[in-house]
Amino acid sequence: MQQILMTIVLLGGLSGCAQPQVEQPKANGSYLVIENSQAWAVLVSDGKRVEERGTVVDAIRLPSQHAAVTASYVIETANCGRVQWLTERTDDADGATTRMSLHNNQQLGDAGCVIGNGLTRMWTVLDYSG
């Protein structure tokens, strides 16, 4: 009887120590991965990853420090058609800023196109073509 009473008291005391799990931060990002003639547009939102695979139609890199557009990548995908990303450079008093943006086409709104949700996101290009 004493063991049962002690067990109940111990369980009651331990139940007050239980804390809810702390919510872990979820990964977010948008990446254009280029490797030779292959391309992957990857969106990560709340830890969930979706990608659209395609082929590189055109990749132009401009070495000029004074060009507004420093790179352009066009990929052809099965669900989104031809999609273009531009790397734009802005020089101001704080220094040079480069941003990668996805440019719209009619097919980005189609149901099968997973990267249509990335129009308002800033993109990072990872070009492994060498």
Residue 4 lies in a domain: no
Asked if residue 81 belongs to a domain, the reply is yes
Which residue range forms the structural domain that includes residue 82? Answer: 23-127
Report the domain count for the chain.
Answer: 1
Q: Does 123 fall in a domain?
A: yes
Per-residue pLDDT, 35: 94
- Read off the pLDDT of residues 6-46 as tens digits, 9 standing for 90 and up: 777 666 666 665 566 777 778 888 889 999 999 999 999 88
Q: How confident is the model at residue 109 (pLDDT cuts 50, 70, 90)?
A: confident
Using alpha carbons only, how large is the chain's radius of gyration in Å? 24
What is the reported pTM?
A: 0.69
Buried b / exposed e over 10-42, threshold 16 CB at 10 Å, is: eeeeeeeeeeeeeeeeeeeebbbbbeeeebbbb
**Confidence at residue 119, expressed as pLDDT on a 0 to 100 scale:** 78
Q: Does position 66 have pLDDT exceeding 90, yes or no?
A: no
The answer to whether position 2 is within a domain reads no
